[in-house]
Amino acid sequence: MTNMIDIQWSLFLSGDKTAFEYIYRMLLPPLYEYGMRKVGDEALVRDAIQDIFEQLWEGRGKLSQISRPKHYLMVALKNRLLNAQLKEGKLSPITYKEEFALQFNLENQIIKNEEDNRRAQQIIRALDQLTPKQREVIYLRYFEELSYEEIATLTNISVKSLYKLNHRAIESLKEFLSMPKADIVLLLTFVKMLYSNY
């Protein structure tokens, strides 16, 4: 999907409305999911995404080619949500504390067998044991497949600290699940596949 979005981005920059609609359709679900995990306010998230895409279309002549449109738009969404919350008085710049929800609704998923359901429940319970920052890093790294550099721009955490956060998160998951790191990564991939249409 990423390469196709890069291609469509180039077409969009030249004014191709079909390419813009493709980008919107492909990136709306991950942007919405990310926004809901950040703030949990559906109206705020929907309005922010709508504003971003409106400004994107109106300002397309001033934009340049970028290598990761999804990351670019996630950063824009994070900033818009933060600004909206500050403006509405829901947060203050001094006391702003980032939380990150990593919840999944198993009832919305078609899980083929009991073993898959058991494994999904197991990793979800383990993810709940992590700190909010660890959950966010795990989500962005393994579910959204962002690089550490991209995660750093979203979280305002240094790349070095992100490596440490990810390492501690994986160690915590290993301890909670009593399985090796390779199996943890496979289990995260399994849950990502289950929720790709969430």
CA dist 12 and 22 (Å) reads 9
Kindly tell me if the per-residue pLDDT of 12 is higher than 60: yes
Q: What is the pLDDT of residue 149?
A: 93
- Tell me the HSE value of 136 on the side-chain side, using a 13 A CA sphere: 23
Tell me which amino acid residue 190 is: F
Per residue in 66-123, pLDDT tens? 878 888 999 999 989 888 877 766 654 433 345 666 555 444 444 456 766 777 778 8
Kindly tell me if the per-residue pLDDT of 51 is higher than 50: yes
Q: What is the pLDDT of residue 108?
A: 44
CA dist 187 and 196 (Å) reads 14
CA dist 162 and 146 (Å) reads 12
Kindly tell me if the per-residue pLDDT of 62 is higher than 90: no
Average pLDDT of the residues in 147-174: 92
Which two tokens mark 36?
Answer: 């809901």
CA dist 143 and 130 (Å) reads 16
Name the average pLDDT for the chain. 82
Asked if the 2-87 domain carries CATH number 3.10.450, the reply is no
Looking at the chain, list the stretches that DSSP marks H as alpha helix, in order from N- to C-terminal side: 2-13, 17-39, 42-58, 69-87, 114-128, 132-138, 148-155, 159-177, 181-194
Which of the listed CATH numbers 2.20.25.570, 1.10.10.10, 3.40.50.300, 3.40.50.2000 matches domain 106-194? Answer: 1.10.10.10
Hey, where are the domains in the chain? 2-87, 106-194
Kindly tell me if the per-residue pLDDT of 197 is higher than 50: no
Kindly tell me if the per-residue pLDDT of 152 is higher than 70: yes
Average pLDDT of the residues in 54-72: 86
* DSSP-based three-state secondary structure for 106: helix
